Amino acid sequence: MDKNKKIYVAGHRGLVGSAIKRKLETEGYENIIVQTSNELNLIDKEKVDQFFEKEKPDYVFLAAAKVGGIVANNEFPADFIRDNLLIQTNVIDAAYRNGVEKLLFLGSTCIYPKLAPQPLKEEYLLTGELEPTNEPYAIAKIAGIKMCQSYNRQYGTNFISVMPTNLYGPEDNFDLHTSHVLPALIRKFHEAKETNADSVEIWGTGTPKREFLYSDDLADACVYLMDNYTGNDIINIGVGEDIAIKDLAETIQNVVGFNGKLTFDTSKPDGTPRKLVDVTRLNDIGWKAQTNLKEGIQKAYQWFLENELTATK
């Protein structure tokens, strides 16, 4: 990417967008455009069109999305499919009509079938049924991938799609009702430590395995791919190794310094048994993750401590 050209980061206050913005600033990109959701509602097509016509960005990182954990996906399925379809459609189409040189669309590894072989290869997309608990969100993300690929085929655009694994880091969502498992556990262990609680309850059996990527590593991969990859194939972004939820909980417990015991509420859903991505394609392009899990959790917990008042609202 030309450092003098204009870059629009959609969703710059979220976990992913804020990491991409930090990375770009670190790399010396100064012409970065951002808009809060109050300034620019991406669900509003007319407002999105006006923004693109006025600003004419050269590059777009589409990190804006409605996201949440199992509870949120179960309770608000209509919101998840509607809002994400509208955001993607409005931004991708406006990018095409206003001559954006290159766009990177952030998908999710929940696009893959629930019972797909592990690790998840990019070619497993659309080969089986999705995990029911987040199907509306996954279908929206699949539509975004297919939209980018279709625009490339029909209009000759340069839109690429990446599929990050489970993410965590600064600006994460620590709301116990809507967050993902890692930030939720950080908050649970911290509050248990502060109140001298005897135990912390973990949802499910603790046996499912998940892969976790530090958000600044994802941002590094996204900028790298914008510079080094063009094509219609989707690209997984991950670390290539996973961990059982029980072991994750014990690692977070150790980082936070909580001395009580763990209990498991087996009446709560486990979700997908395992979700590890194959990162061969990404590694072959020349990128590998650098932050190990414990180091990343320490950084995430430090950010939580420094921002606890706002992070827990």
Q: Which residues are annotated as a binding site for NADP(+)?
A: 11-17, 106-109, 141, 164-167, 180
Known binding residues are 11-17, 106-109, 141, 164-167, 180, 188, 203, 210, 270
Q: Which of 29, 59, 112, 137 is catalytic?
A: 137
Q: Is 137 a catalytic residue?
A: yes
Known binding residues for substrate are 188, 203, 210, 270
For every residue of the chain, DSSP letters joined together read --TTS-EEEETTTSHHHHHHHHHHHHTT---EE---TTT--TT-HHHHHHHHHHH--SEEEE-------HHHHHH-HHHHHHHHHHHHHHHHHHHHHTT-SEEEEE--GGGS-TT--SSB-GGGTTSSPPPGGGHHHHHHHHHHHHHHHHHHHHH---EEEEEE-EEESTT----TTT--HHHHHHHHHHHHHHTT-SEEEEES-S--EE-EEEHHHHHHHHHHHHHH--SSS-EEES-S--EEHHHHHHHHHHHHT--SEEEEETTS---SSEE-B--HHHHHHT------HHHHHHHHHHHHHHTHHHHT-
What amino acid positions are annotated as catalytic residues? 137
